[in-house]
Copies of this chain bind each other. A is one copy, B any other.
Amino acid sequence: MSRSINLAVIPGDGIGQEVVAEGLKVLSAVLPQDVKLETKDYDFGARRYHATGETLTDADLDALKQHDAILLGAIGDPGVPSGVLERGFLLKLRFAFDHHVNLRPSKLLPGVATPLAGQPEIDFVVVREGTEGPYTGNGGTIRKGTEHEVATEVSVNTAFGVERVVRDAFARAQARPRKKLTLVHKNNVLTFAGHLWTNIFDKVAAEYPDVTTDYIHVDAATIYLVTDPGRFDVIVTDNLFGDIITDLAAAVSGGIGVAASGNINPSREFPSMFEPVHGSAPDIAGQGKADPTATVLSVALLLRHLGHDAEAARIEDAVSADLADRGGLPARSTSQIGDALAARVAG
């Protein structure tokens, strides 16, 4: 546990600005007096791209490297062509800082609405691989724009990359009461990658006899996520499958307004990055309507990553209590929710 936190803050675009302000408010409120918090803002995202054409330079990466962690709001703007900021900023950062554990908890908290009938119990964590699979940018296009165009996307999977994320997931499963780990893949069709994932999963499973394991195809996993989400405890999966099922997981467990994520480098060779699963939501930006809860829960993940477990738990408890009360409260603005959470964690 560090006695100081040197945080890089990337508010980004749209509602990113608003939600990050509340995240920092709660972070300041929860930290004990003797933990020194230093923050530095970085103006990355659409505004900078429009002004300079830059997304993330080597100098930017060097600057970010100096921090203990990164808090990000959201990046994205309809005025920027699809893919430019995603590949040029978000994915570039995940790859440069080797964020191979993309951690996305889903917990349906009391009082929170879900689109599912019967308010099922939901409490699982997805460990999504963050540096391989179809996200590597391998592939290409020939004869672009002609009737003979061929475009490929190459999913790259290495024993090194798969084993480290599978090990991380087993350790997380073992630390939870139910000790259950599900591998989600599509090994009946993507047989090359599927066999690599399945073999490594089975090999590591032998070292964790107390962890119950199972395997589900990604298509079937989407069925279980809506018909029986309680069956999941920890899920480990590839980058693209993880992207898809965590949005669905967020939807069934209270919506992306409360879905947090961490892009984690467990070795701490580079700073990890914490961000809400939601995007920049330009349609509601600047109106104080955005729910900062997902960002606040991402701050809790950040604190846990840095060893401040008690403070992380205080934030999570505050969020639970706040959400439980919401049904009875009139709608509040972004900063009113932040104020309420800050007051709760401060004690």
Contact = CB atoms under 8 A, between A and B. Distances in A.
Interface of A: 82-83, 86-87, 91, 114-118, 134-135, 137-141, 143, 145-160, 163, 186-196, 198-199, 218-220, 222-223, 225-227, 240, 243-248, 250-252, 255-256
A245 B87 CA distance: 24
Nearest to A91: B189
A140 B192 contact: yes
14 contacts: A82-B198, A83-B191, A114-B117, A134-B134, A134-B190, A139-B155, A147-B160, A149-B159, A151-B157, A151-B158, A186-B240, A189-B243, A222-B245, A226-B251
Contacts of A115: 116-117, 226-227
B152 A157 contact: yes
Contacts of A116: 115-117, 226
A154 B159 CA distance: 18
A149 B199 CA distance: 11
A243 B191 CA distance: 16
A159 B147 contact: yes
Contacts of A117: 114-118
B148 A156 contact: no
Taken together, the copies of this chain in the complex come to 2
A226 B223 contact: no
A327 B217 CA distance: 31
A83 B199 CA distance: 14
A223 to B, nearest CB: 4
Q: Which of A118, A138, A244 has the most B CB atoms < 10 Å from its CB?
A: A244
Given A87-B189, A151-B157, A219-B243, 6 more contacts: A83-B195, A143-B159, A153-B157, A155-B155, A222-B244, A227-B255
Given A251-B227, A252-B226, A156 B149 contact: no
Contacts of A139: 154-155, 190, 192-193
Contacts of A199: 145
Nearest to A119: B117
Contacts of A256: 223
Contact of A218 (B83, B159, B186, B244): B244
Given A86-B188, A116-B115, A153 B193 contact: yes
Contacts of A218: 244
B155 A153 contact: yes
Contact of A196 (B141, B156, B159, B251): B141
B83 A188 contact: yes
A294 to B, nearest CB: 14
A250 B146 CA distance: 36
A223 B194 contact: no
Contacts of A223: 247-248, 250-251, 256
Nearest to A145: B199
